[in-house]
Amino acid sequence: MKKFGTAIILAGGKSSRMGFDKQQLNVDNNRLINHIIHKLSKEFDEIIVVTNTPAYYSGLPCITVEDEIVQKGPLSGIHIGLKKSSSEYAYVIACDMPNIKFDYIKFMKDRINETKSDACITMFGTEWIEPFNGFYSKSILSDIESYLLRDRKSVFHLLKQVNCYYIDEVKAREYSPNWEMFLNLNTKEDLEKYVNNSINKSIG
């Protein structure tokens, strides 16, 4: 089993603030998620997309899966993604996050190798976490499953129960001073601002 061979893209959100399915977000006349898949393919051997509309991904270099434990938010997607992953750890990102920083991905891998942690995520301030743009281990699958079956869905509280390595905000900003690697395109205004300002330097 490879250690870091898999990336999971969560594409099952409700998209209520955007007004349309964020899987259909377009940048430069191409679907954003297509860009994300191809970009991640340069770093990861296996791309898993968690989606209720697998037909959207026909012909793309990815595997599609659907939530097994439904209506529990992002943790449902992390659960099924890890379950289907062929790697010990999986990188997790959302379908509306356009900025991928490979140097930060390497930094997280190094921290996991050093600390043998079950997960590696970033803090925002002292009380908030960024659950995406992080790594999760298959070793916590049973923890996630039992947590979800107790009708709980907070990633923050789940990670308190496992050996998670937290990267502090100051360190993370060395890689992304403006926090663009955690940018979510949640609204049409977010999308317009992203396109107009050409924030992304990764997609090409």
pLDDT per position in the chain (204 positions), as tens? Answer: 899 999 999 997 666 667 688 898 888 888 999 999 999 999 999 999 999 999 999 999 999 999 999 889 999 999 999 999 999 999 999 999 999 999 999 999 999 999 999 999 999 998 899 999 999 999 999 999 999 999 999 999 999 999 999 999 999 999 999 999 999 998 888 888 888 875 444 444
151 is in an annotated binding site: no
**66 Rama sector, left if φ>0, alpha if ψ -120 to 50, beta otherwise:** beta
Residue 14: predicted pLDDT: 63
Looking at residue 9, its amino acid is I
Residue 202: predicted pLDDT: 44
Q: Do the Cβ atoms of 94 and 14 come closer than 8 Å? A: no
Residue 193: predicted pLDDT: 87
96 is in an annotated binding site: yes
What the block records as the tokens of 51 is 């989606």
Residue 12: predicted pLDDT: 74
172 is in an annotated binding site: no
How far apart CA 153 and CA 159 sit, in angstroms, is 11
Residue 200: predicted pLDDT: 46
pTM of the model: 0.93
Element (H, E) at 134: strand 128-137
28 is in an annotated binding site: no
How far apart CA 135 and CA 107 sit, in angstroms, is 11
Element (H, E) at 146: helix 141-149
The domains located in the chain, with CATH, are 6-197 (3.90.550.10)
Residue 140: predicted pLDDT: 98
10 is in an annotated binding site: yes
